[in-house]
């Protein structure tokens, strides 16, 4: 009964039990498959073997010395004995633990790691019990803040090098290094340097002792105080699997959970440290209704009030990108079957056919595909800032030999492993079109994409959907034409789920286009008749209608168009001119003066449901605590509203909702693509003396989900700036660090200037929402625009001249 495995298999014996594993497997991994746990500290499945801690000794029959099972690969017929069956091995492990404990402080009772510490666990389970060491222990100053987020306690460190290997091999942000030697070897960072990596928190989690501790969790809880739940990160579309820890009802920690298909064992610092927003003092957990002012009311009262105003009215729904699949599905159905509108949108741009294609094709490209691709073209995506874990997987692909080419106006943090072609925003399709004809800097990589078949990927970032969305569509067409696999990478935690559920003016659930009769009929078979006619309005269309008085009720669900929409002025006019504004969110924020009714929603830590990654992978999240106050999960609010309007969404429980959703969202073979011709977006013209200003959100900004994550902002946040190419800077007469006025049709702002060669000439970048600038105030509907730059004379320039002359 022999099968033909793709990889060569090796059979060996460990503790008398046979196991067959792929060639190249480490002994420690093979033992795991038999359920044999060999103790270890330095070994980590996603890091290269180090063999440093020496805890995982085993005996291999025929070899005179014990070996470390974390560094030796299996061989056919190998006979391995672990501590379970060999006394020498057991003695060696106990002796090694004694060595590790010599200088380790006995401060477990005050150590953050106490109770979940591999060293403590192993010392308790097989350690020597009493120390024979009678001399003075090593002492160091402690703690040493490596950054506002990470503290180092060198006395506890067992020098396993997991943290330094993580920095070298995974994030590539090589801040940590071992320093000095012998007994004084220690983890160190360059003097004056901060551990400014957006992945720094991972080193805390993989530290096998309490040497690296989290500033936000330091002395905050004991493991036995915590109640935990498995969830998925609420921040971006990477979909990192998380464990959320709650102490006395308050979220105190996020840890990355292992999921080899998604985040491996990692997450980014935003996902790790920005968890206080559900407990923000500004959070509102009671329904409110505007009578004399905004006053608390019962859910029934508010829903009845809202339902009355929706009946027969012109209604529009705007949502953010971080609700659950269930919420979006319920909203999609509510709008179409009860309220009777297609004016619903989760996006902030005009979208494109690329996106519609993506909605119908989940998992067209996955993390695994990225890891094993041979050539990857990344267009319009700053992966580290927008989808950090995808950034890590791209880096991993390079270690497997992939070629990565990034087409973007700014050089991204992939700069050390990928080729970059810098171009002005909007110019990407033009460059690609030239490459298709064998011209320009991308001709070579296009040829490679064409020849690599399944191992060729094209990833298009959310920025390409800005404006007309033509750029994304052109890139999609190009990829399809080359035979490469395409993925439109959404940014927010559940943009993709919203797209799939049909929170979209032209799409029904499952990517079914509203205006394709067959597709629509499939939905109607389950929903009953859809009341609406024709495609609805996009977010911009909805805001324009509101501003023009063509809308009676505007729902703002987990979204604040004043900040989020790339046209703050339009958003303001819309709010001023629509009679009824219904806000459904965690808090009101800047919408407080506009809201007529407020429906309190549950936060991610209180929800049961699914989030969908950029790949289109739905992942379950579980509540870590009860909903706060009388807030409700969004889908329940939608169901309640339907009932208040005399309709019925057809589900009262999550199970019923899942049943129905499953039928519409199950992957289908059908393709519903419409025959749309894309025009090649032309390279935008810039008037003489102007720059092409573009913006996208950086990882750590002033977004509402990083509220109260002060340490994170201190570590990774930056005040707003404008980034210019050296040549442009000199033509505008500005220097690095000086201030300049950025002026557009919509507004103007004074910002410090960063001058660099790592941006395309003619382009200027501002972060979307960093302290000092809401970029939406500079924009008129698209995330890029034409701007002028004007130098501002600073007073200290004068004083500097004086100093020189003196």
Is residue 185 close enough to count as binding another protein by CB under 8 A?
A: yes
* Residue 480 near another protein by CB under 8 A: no
> How far from 280 is each of 229, 276, 598, 603, CA to CA, in Å?
20, 6, 17, 11
Least Å distance, CB 120 to another protein, is 17
By CB under 8 A, tell whether 66 contacts another protein.
yes
691 DSSP β-pair partners: 787
Interaction between residue 69 and another protein (CB under 8 A): no
The smaller minimum CB distance to another protein, of residues 90 and 280, is found at 90
| Structure-block tokens of residue 82 | 């672990």
Of 725, 721, 730, which is closest to residue 749 (Cα–Cα)?
721
User: How many residues bind to another protein according to rule CB under 8 A?
Assistant: 35
Least distance CB 51 / another protein (angstroms): 6
Does 182 help bind another protein (rule: CB under 8 A)? yes
Piece in contact with another protein (CB under 8 A), picked from 177-185, 204-212, 296-304, 471-479: 177-185
CA distance 484 to 41: 42
In the bound state with another protein, the residue whose beta carbon lies nearer, of 96 and 487, is 96
Residues 311-340 that bind another protein (CB under 8 A): none
Q: Is 31 in the site for another protein (CB under 8 A)?
A: no
Q: Which is nearer to another protein, 119 or 542 (CB)?
A: 119
Report, in this order, helix, strand and coil percent for the chain, each rounded to 5.
35, 20, 45
Question: CB of 150: closest distance to another protein in angstroms?
Answer: 22
- Nearer Cβ to another protein, position 135 or 803? 135
Contact mark string toward another protein, 701..730, x via CB under 8 A: ------------------------------
Of residues 185 and 230, the one with the C-beta less far from another protein: 185
- The only residue of 29, 40, 44, 54 in contact with another protein, by rule CB under 8 A: 54
Closer CB to another protein, 182 or 293, in the complex: 182
User: How large is the greatest C-alpha to C-alpha distance in the chain, in angstroms?
Assistant: 91
Tell whether residue 183 is a contact of another protein (CB under 8 A). yes
Distance (Å, rounded) from C-alpha 27 to C-alpha 784?
Answer: 54
Q: Which is nearer to another protein, 16 or 24 (CB)?
A: 24
One of 19, 31, 38, 53 touching another protein (CB under 8 A): 53
Q: How far is the CB of 360 from another protein (least distance, A)?
A: 45
Which lies closer to another protein via its Cβ, residue 130 or residue 688?
130
Q: Is 55 in the site for another protein (CB under 8 A)?
A: yes
Q: Which is nearer to another protein, 134 or 292 (CB)?
A: 134
If the CB atoms of residues 179 and 548 are measured against another protein, the closer one turns out to be 179
Q: Which of 69, 72, 62 is nearest to 83 (CA)?
A: 69
Toward another protein, which CB reaches closer, 188 or 503? 188
Angle at 302 between CA 298 and CA 303, to 5 degrees: 115
How far, in Å, CA of 539 to CA of 289, rounded? 25
Task: Report the alpha-carbon angle 218-222-223, nearest 5.
Answer: 115
Tokens of 212: 């690296």
Residue 64 in contact with another protein, rule: CB under 8 A: yes
Pairing relation of β-strands 212-214 and 150-152? antiparallel
Query: Which of 632, 535, 539, 537 is CA-nearest to residue 324?
Result: 632
CA 752 to CA 8: how far, in whole Å?
58
Radius of gyration in angstroms for the set of CA atoms belonging to the chain, rounded to a whole number: 28
Closest approach of Cβ 99 to another protein, in Å? 4
Q: Which stretch binds another protein (CB under 8 A): 76-84, 156-164, 416-424, 681-689?
A: 156-164
Least distance in angstroms from the C-beta of 154 to another protein: 12
Among 80, 100, 307, 456, binds another protein (CB under 8 A): 100
Closer residue to another protein, CB minimum distance, 67 or 738: 67
In the structure encoding, which two tokens stand for residue 721, read together?
């700036």
Query: Of 140, 121, 149, which Cα lies nearest the Cα of 205?
Result: 149
Burial class (CB in 10 A: 0-12, 13-18, 19+), 434: middle
Place of tokens 């991204």: 412
Contacts of 502 (CB under 8 A, 6+ apart): 328, 329, 332, 336, 359, 508, 509, 510, 512
Q: Which two tokens stand for residue 111?
A: 């150590």
Binding to another protein in span 109-138, by CB under 8 A: 132-135
Least distance CB 488 / another protein (angstroms): 38
Buried/exposed 209-244: b ≥16 CB within 10 Å, e otherwise: bbbbbbbbbeebbeeeebebbebbbbbbbbbbbbeb
> Which residues in 571-595 are b (16+ Cβ under 10 Å) and which e?
bbbbbebbebbbbbbbbbbebeebb
- Is 52 a residue that touches another protein (CB under 8 A)? yes
State the sign of the Cα–Cα–Cα–Cα dihedral 596, 598, 599, 604: positive
How far are the Cα atoms of 699, 714, 724 from residue 199, in angstroms, in the given order? 11, 15, 27
Q: Which of 13, 22, 46, 49 is in the footprint of another protein by CB under 8 A?
A: 49
- Is the Cα dihedral 366, 371, 374, 377 positive or negative? positive
Stretch of 44-52, 265-273, 512-520, 723-731 lying at the interface with another protein (CB under 8 A):
44-52
- Long-range contact set of residues 117-124: C-beta below 8 Å, sequence gap at least 24: 117/208, 117/209, 117/210, 118/41, 118/208, 118/209, 119/41, 119/158, 119/208, 119/209, 122/39, 122/55, 122/97, 123/97
- Least spacing, CB of residue 132 vs another protein, in Å: 6
Q: Which stretch binds another protein (CB under 8 A): 24-32, 61-69, 428-436, 703-711?
A: 61-69
Decide: helix, strand or coil at residue 121: helix
| Strand 507-508 relative to strand 150-152, pairing | unpaired
If the CB atoms of residues 15 and 98 are measured against another protein, the closer one turns out to be: 98
CB of 168 to another protein, least distance (A): 11
Name the one range near another protein by CB under 8 A: 65-73, 299-307, 543-551, 736-744.
65-73
Could you tell me the two tokens for 606?
């209180």
Q: Which one among 4, 6, 18, 180 touches another protein, defined by CB under 8 A?
A: 180
532: which 2 tokens? 């609406």
| Footprint of another protein on 376-415 (CB under 8 A) | none
Site map (CB under 8 A) of another protein, residues 70-99, x = contact:
-x--------------------x--xx-xx
Nearest distance, CB of residue 512 and another protein, angstroms = 53
Beta-carbon contacts of residue 322 (< 8 Å; ≥ 6 apart): 234, 492, 493, 494, 558, 604, 705
177 sits near another protein (criterion: CB under 8 A): yes
Our finding on whether 685 is near another protein (CB under 8 A) is no
For the bound state, the minimum distance from the C-beta of residue 65 to another protein, rounded and expressed in Å, comes to: 4
What track of x and - describes contact with another protein for positions 219 through 258 (by CB under 8 A)? ----------------------------------------
Task: Among 2, 110, 125, 181, indicate the residue that binds another protein (CB under 8 A).
Answer: 181
Query: Is the CB of 35 or the CB of 62 nearer to another protein?
Result: 62
Binding status of residue 262 toward another protein by CB under 8 A: no
> Can you read off the two tokens belonging to residue 187?
């983890």
Contact segment (CB under 8 A) with another protein among 53-61, 411-419, 453-461, 641-649 equals 53-61
Rounded Cα gap, residues 560 and 591, in angstroms: 7
Coil vs helix vs strand at 192: coil
444 lies in the site for another protein, by CB under 8 A: no
- Interacting residue with another protein among 1, 65, 669, 675 (CB under 8 A): 65
State the residues that interact with another protein by CB under 8 A.
49-55, 57, 64-66, 71, 92, 95-96, 98-100, 102-103, 132-135, 158-159, 161, 177-178, 180-185
């Amino acid at each position: 009964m022999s099968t033909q495995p793709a990889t060569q298999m090796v059979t060996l014996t460990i503790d008398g039990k046979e196991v067959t594993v792929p060639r190249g497997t480490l002994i420690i991994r093979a033992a795991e498959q038999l359920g044999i746990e060999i103790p270890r500290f330095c070994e980590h499945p996603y890091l290269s073997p180090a063999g440093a801690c020496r805890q995982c000794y085993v005996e291999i029959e025929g070899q005179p010395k014990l070996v470390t099972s974390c560094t030796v690969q299996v061989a056919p017929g190998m006979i391995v004995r672990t501590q379970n069956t060999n006394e020498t091995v057991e003695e060696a492990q106990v002796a090694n633990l004694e060595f590790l404990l010599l200088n380790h402080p006995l401060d477990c009772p005050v150590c953050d790691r106490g109770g979940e510490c591999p060293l403590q666990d192993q010392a308790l389970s097989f350690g020597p019990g009493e120390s024979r060491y009678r001399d003075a222990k090593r002492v160091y100053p402690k703690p040493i803040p490596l950054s506002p987020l990470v503290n180092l306690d060198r006395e506890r460190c067992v020098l396993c090098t997991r943290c330094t290997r993580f920095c070298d091999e995974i994030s590539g942000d090589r801040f940590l290094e071992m320093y000095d030697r012998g007994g004084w070897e220690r983890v160190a960072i360059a003097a004056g340097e901060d551990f400014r990596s957006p992945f720094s928190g991972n080193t805390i989690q993989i530290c096998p002792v309490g040497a690296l501790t989290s500033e936000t969790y330091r002395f905050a809880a004991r493991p036995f105080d915590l109640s935990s739940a498995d969830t998925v990160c609420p921040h971006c579309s990477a979909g990192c699997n998380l464990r959320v820890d709650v102490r006395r009802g308050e979220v105190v920690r996020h840890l990355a959970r292992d999921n080899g298909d998604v985040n491996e064992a990692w997450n980014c610092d935003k996902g790790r440290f920005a968890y206080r927003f559900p407990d923000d003092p500004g959070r509102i957990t009671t329904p409110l209704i505007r009578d004399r002012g905004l006053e608390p009311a019962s859910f029934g009262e508010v829903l009845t009030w809202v339902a009355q105003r929706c009946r027969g009215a012109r209604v529009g729904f705007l949502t953010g990108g971080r609700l659950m699949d269930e919420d979006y599905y319920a909203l999609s159905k509510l709008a179409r079957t009860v309220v009777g509108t297609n004016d619903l949108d989760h996006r902030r741009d005009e979208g494109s056919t690329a996106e519609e294609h993506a909605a119908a094709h989940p998992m067209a490209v996955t993390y695994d595909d990225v890891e094993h691709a041979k050539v990857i073209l990344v267009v319009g995506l700053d992966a580290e800032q927008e989808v950090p874990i995808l950034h890590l997987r791209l880096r991993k692909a390079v270690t497997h030999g992939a070629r990565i080419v990034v087409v973007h106006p700014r050089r991204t943090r992939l700069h050390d492993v990928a080729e970059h072609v810098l171009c002005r925003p909007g110019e990407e399709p033009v460059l690609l079109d030239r490459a298709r004809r064998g011209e320009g800097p991308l001709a070579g990589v296009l040829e490679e994409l064409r020849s690599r078949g399944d191992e060729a990927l094209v990833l298009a970032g959310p920025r390409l959907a800005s404006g007309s969305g033509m750029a994304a569509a052109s890139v999609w067409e190009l990829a399809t034409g080359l035979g490469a696999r395409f993925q439109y990478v959404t940014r927010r935690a559940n943009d993709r789920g919203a797209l799939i559920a049909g929170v979209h003016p032209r799409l029904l659930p499952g990517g079914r286009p509203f205006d394709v009769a067959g597709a629509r009929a499939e939905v109607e078979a389950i929903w009953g008749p859809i009341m609406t006619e024709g495609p609805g309005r996009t977010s911009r269309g909805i805001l324009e209608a509101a501003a023009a008085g063509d809308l009676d009720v505007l729902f703002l669900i987990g979204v604040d168009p004043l900040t989020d929409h790339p046209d703050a002025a339009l958003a303001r006019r819309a709010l001023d001119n629509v009679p009824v504004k219904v806000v459904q969110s965690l808090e009101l924020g800047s919408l407080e003066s506009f809201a007529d009714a407020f429906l309190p929603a549950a936060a991610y830590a209180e929800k049961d449901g699914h989030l969908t990654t950029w790949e289109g992978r739905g992942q379950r999240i579980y509540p870590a605590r009860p909903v706060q106050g009388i807030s409700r999960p969004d889908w329940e609010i939608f169901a309640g509203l339907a009932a208040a309007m005399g309709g019925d969404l057809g589900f009262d429980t999550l199970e019923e909702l899942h049943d129905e959703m499953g039928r519409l969202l199950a992957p289908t073979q059908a393709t519903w693509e419409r025959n749309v011709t894309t025009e090649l977006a032309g390279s935008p013209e810039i008037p003489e003396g102007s720059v092409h200003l573009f913006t996208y959100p950086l990882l750590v900004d002033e977004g509402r989900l990083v509220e109260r994550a002060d340490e994170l902002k201190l570590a990774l946040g930056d005040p707003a700036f404008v980034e210019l190419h050296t040549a442009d800077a000199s033509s505008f007469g500005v220097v690095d660090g000086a201030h300049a006025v950025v002026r557009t049709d919509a507004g103007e702002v004074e910002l410090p200037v960063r001058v660099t060669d790592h941006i395309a000439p003619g382009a200027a970048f501002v972060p979307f929402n960093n302290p000092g600038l809401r970029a939406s105030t500079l924009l008129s509907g698209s995330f890029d625009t034409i701007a002028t730059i004007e130098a501002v004379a600073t007073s200290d320039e004068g004083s500097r001249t004086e100093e020189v002359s003196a």
